[in-house]
Amino acid sequence: MRRIRYIILLAGLLPCVTSHAEELLATAAVPPQVCYRDFIHDRKVTLQGVIHTTSVDLHEPVVEKLFNQVSVVMFENTSLFPDDGIFKKLETFPDEYRKVVRLNRVVDEKHIPRLSKLFNIALTRDSPVFISTISNFVASIIVKRLQNDGLVAQSITNPWKNLIGASNVEAVAYAYARQHQIPVRDLESVGESSGLPEIYEIKDQVDRTMECIDDAKCLQDWNARRLSIADHISSPIKSYDDTYRVVMNSHDTLRITLAPRNQRMFKKMMSFLQDGAHALVIVGAAHIGGPSGLGAKLAYEKFIRTPCDKLLL
């Protein structure tokens, strides 16, 4: 998600689009980008990580060069992004986000009565779960258990409400790209970004989670990790490797789905990266660092880590 302090548009290119999106770009929060270059085919990649829950005005603006000579912008998935950078309301979400799977694809049927009691809702094997919320499923179970014990606030979501969203940074960057006629590409479908291809592994983790909610020490450890993650995402990102380690130390399905999602995204990214291209890739911060991150994959393909201010020289 990107921001740019005012860029003067060439007269006639886009009539008077110093819009809300550009205003947000002027004040948006972005962690440091990292850049890679393939000197053989003159392909350049700027990786920009975001925290999906971060609003654009949380940190100091550091984005003036983010869109500099960019030929294509890639996101995880743009289904929710409106052209003006303002989020769509739930009832206007694309049909893809409304797709559901049956509860028994995510949870062993023996656990459904306990989940009904935990969430105080009548659930059956056929109860619908939005595919766009599957990645939050395990965390929702644990947090609800902690809520019921009075250990965390009640203002948390549950897996039967569609909370999908992306950071304002992403939405604003998408709006900027559209307004400036910069090609936009998706690296995932909604199902892929929710973890749907790894649904059997997720189901196995739900089994372990149901055991955890009966174990005081397990709950305590999980809550400590949850608070560590909350503290991490409330601060500017200093290292994408740190973000990777925080996610891998969590009990969330993010840990299960991260490596396969990175592989899918990287394969798609490379298919969009033509000779001479400069791609701005805007994804969740955890997808950039670590041994399975997009940065490591670029390095494996002989892309050279390059200071971003030297990338276009």
251 and 222 in contact (C-beta within 8 Å)?
Answer: yes
pLDDT at 21: 53
Residue bearing the bigger pLDDT, 307 or 1: 307
Q: 């479908």: which residue's tokens?
A: 189
Residue bearing the bigger pLDDT, 170 or 267: 267
Residue type, 257: T
* Beta strand pairing call for 100-102 and 128-130: antiparallel
Reply yes or no on whether the pLDDT at 153 is more than 70. no
Reply yes or no on whether the pLDDT at 262 is more than 60. yes
Whole-number Å distance between alpha carbons of 221 and 226: 9
Q: 């939405």: which residue's tokens?
A: 171
Domain ranges for the chain, please list them.
20-310
Q: Which residues of 121-138 are buried (b: 16+ CB within 10 A; e: fewer)?
A: eebeeebebbbbbbbbbb
Closest CA to 182 of 21, 20, 301: 21
289 Cα distance to chain centroid: 14
- The angle, 0 to 180 degrees and rounded to 10, between the axes of the packed helices 137-148 and 199-212 is 20
- 234 DSSP assignment: T
pLDDT at 20: 54
pLDDT at 58: 39
Locate the DSSP E strands across the chain. Answer: 34-38, 43-50, 72-75, 100-102, 128-130, 184-186, 278-284, 304-306
Number of H helices, E strands in the chain: 11, 8
55 and 29 in contact (C-beta within 8 Å)?
Answer: yes
Is residue 267 left, alpha or beta, with left meaning phi > 0 and alpha meaning psi from -120 to 50?
Answer: alpha
Reply yes or no on whether the pLDDT at 61 is more than 50. no
Residue 260: pLDDT band with limits 50, 70, 90: very high
Reply yes or no on whether the pLDDT at 120 is more than 70. yes
Tokens of 42: 């003159």
Reply yes or no on whether the pLDDT at 13 is more than 60. no
pLDDT at 51: 77
Q: 């940190």: which residue's tokens?
A: 59
Reply yes or no on whether the pLDDT at 293 is more than 80. yes
Residue bearing the bigger pLDDT, 17 or 127: 127
Q: Which residues pair with 40 in a beta bridge?
A: none
**Once rounded to an integer, what is the mean pLDDT over residues 35-58?**
82
pLDDT at 59: 37
Strands of the sheet containing 278-284, edge to edge, are: 184-186, 72-75, 278-284, 43-50, 34-38, 304-306
For the ranges 33-37, 140-144, 214-218, 297-301, which has the lowest average pLDDT?
140-144
281 and 48 in contact (C-beta within 8 Å)?
Answer: yes
Residue 190: pLDDT band with limits 50, 70, 90: confident
pLDDT at 264: 95
Reply yes or no on whether the pLDDT at 292 is more than 90. yes
**Once rounded to an integer, what is the mean pLDDT over residues 246-255?**
75
